[in-house]
Amino acid sequence: MTNWWPGRAARALVIAAALAFSTPVFALQPPTAAAQDGFVPVSRAAQQETIPAARLVVIAYGFAWVMLLGYLWSIWSRLGKVERELLAVSRRIDAGERRG
Amino acid sequence: MFMMAPFLIDGAPYESTMGLVQKIFYFHVPSAMTMFVSAFVCGISSAVFLFKGRAAADRLAVAAAELTSVFGIIVLVTGPLWARKAWGVWWVWDERITSTFVLWLIFNAYLLLRKYGGAGSERLAAGLAIFGMANVPFVYWSVNVWRTLHPKTTVVPTLQPGMRGPFWFCVTAFLLLYVLAITARAHLEAERARLEEIYLSIEE
């Protein structure tokens, strides 16, 4: 009876270690068999969902729109700034030439 | 075209295993295709600048690198949103996803080098862009060579008619937007060069 403790404890430790190391592996497994080779169309999407797809789709499209519009705006803004600076410099040059 | 795209995507059929979330595909893949095109434009223009010394090619390379980064971030954000539902995880360090991330990092390194590298950094950045371009075929073929969770390259050629139309419409919209953006961005770079020339002539 005095000898049981190390053996049980060691077994428990081995099991705990195995579970701890296997958890990330289980977490990486896909819960559904998502199509990899080709897409098969259906007329309706599944009604019951654990993760709401609509929110993910809206965020994805919203992000793409914001990024693209934001980038176009940034080009327009930077171009405007450079063109204003060009105009100011050329005015200064013209004024200098007239004085000189 | 971007206004019309959501209506076409809404009308496209659902995919049997993924359902609604698969609709991210219509923006995710065209963004990835545009990112690849942009990486090629940047790499080729950088090679022209490096070997022929043409300043216009360098300006085009800067514009293309910035656009590779922009389209890359769209790919890297929309992908995990799709993966969360389809695979149950936001991110997996598999070959396709990791190599795409590395490609995006290379072009961001190019932009950082151009901004903070100082004099002569444009030649070093051009070399980096050529290696970035060389990474594109590896990213594309990675799903066929290694076992990954990511859909394979067979998906696009085998798309059903209901999905094919909206998909190619979105690809066209993204590529046209790319042409518009790169023209404007290269023009900005040309204007900056003109301003710099004026300042240099004043100093002299």
What is residue B152's predicted lDDT score, i.e. its pLDDT? 86
Q: What is the DSSP string of B146-176?
A: S--SS--TTTTTT--HHHHHHHHHHHHHHHH
Is residue B2 a part of any domain in this protein?
A: no
Is residue A92 a part of any domain in this protein?
A: yes
Is residue B17 a part of any domain in this protein?
A: no
Q: Given pLDDT bands bounded at 50, 70 and 90, which one contains residue A6?
A: low
8 Å CB contact of B191 and A57: no
pLDDT tens per residue across span B34-63: 999 999 999 999 999 999 989 999 999 999
The answer to whether the complex's ipTM is over 0.90 is no
What is the spatial distance between Cα B59 and Cα A56, in angstroms, rounded to a whole number?
A: 37
Q: How far is B69 from chain A (nearest CA, A)?
A: 11
8 Å CB contact of A56 and B21: yes
Is residue B6 a part of any domain in this protein?
A: no
Among the listed ranges A17-21, A46-50, A86-90, B133-137, which one has the minimum average pLDDT value?
A17-21
What is the spatial distance between Cα B69 and Cα B63, in angstroms, rounded to a whole number?
A: 10
Q: Which residues of A touch B184 (CB under 8 A)?
A: 72, 75-76, 79
What is the spatial distance between Cα B49 and Cα B70, in angstroms, rounded to a whole number?
A: 23
Contact with chain B for residue A76, Cβ under 8 A = yes
C-alpha distance from residue B29 to each of B46, B59, B157 (Å): 25, 27, 13
Contact with chain B for residue A34, Cβ under 8 A = yes
The pTM assigned to this predicted structure is 0.81
Reported as type and span, the H/E element at residue A42 is strand A41-42
How many distinct structural domains can be found in chain B?
1
Q: Where are the beta strands (DSSP E) in chain B?
A: 14-15
The pLDDT of B98-118, averaged and rounded, is: 94
How many distinct structural domains can be found in chain A?
1
What is the spatial distance between Cα B102 and Cα B99, in angstroms, rounded to a whole number?
A: 5
Is residue A36 a part of any domain in this protein?
A: no
Is residue A57 a part of any domain in this protein?
A: yes
C-alpha distance from residue B35 to each of A70, B31, B70, B103 (Å): 17, 6, 8, 10
Domain with B82, as residue range(s), is 24-203
Task: Specify which residues A41 forms β-bridges with.
Answer: B15
Whether the per-residue pLDDT at A15 is higher than 50: the answer is yes
The pLDDT of B20-46, averaged and rounded, is: 94
What is residue A26's predicted lDDT score, i.e. its pLDDT? 42
What is residue A23's predicted lDDT score, i.e. its pLDDT? 44
C-alpha distance from residue A25 to each of A28, A63, B99, B143 (Å): 5, 31, 21, 21
What is residue B119's predicted lDDT score, i.e. its pLDDT? 83
Among the listed ranges A33-42, B84-93, B113-122, which one has the minimum average pLDDT value?
A33-42
Domain with A69, as residue range(s), is 4-30+53-99
Give the up-direction half-sphere exposure of residue B118: CA atoms within 13 A in the CB hemisphere: 0
Sign of CA dihedral B23, B89, B156, B69: positive
Is residue A40 a part of any domain in this protein?
A: no
Is residue B136 a part of any domain in this protein?
A: yes
What is the spatial distance between Cα A23 and Cα A56, in angstroms, rounded to a whole number?
A: 26
Nearest CA in chain B to A97: B202
The amino acid sitting at B125 is A
Across the interface, of B24, B87, B181, the residue whose CB is closest to A34 is B87
Across the interface, of B14, B150, B159, the residue whose CB is closest to A45 is B14
Is residue B11 a part of any domain in this protein?
A: no
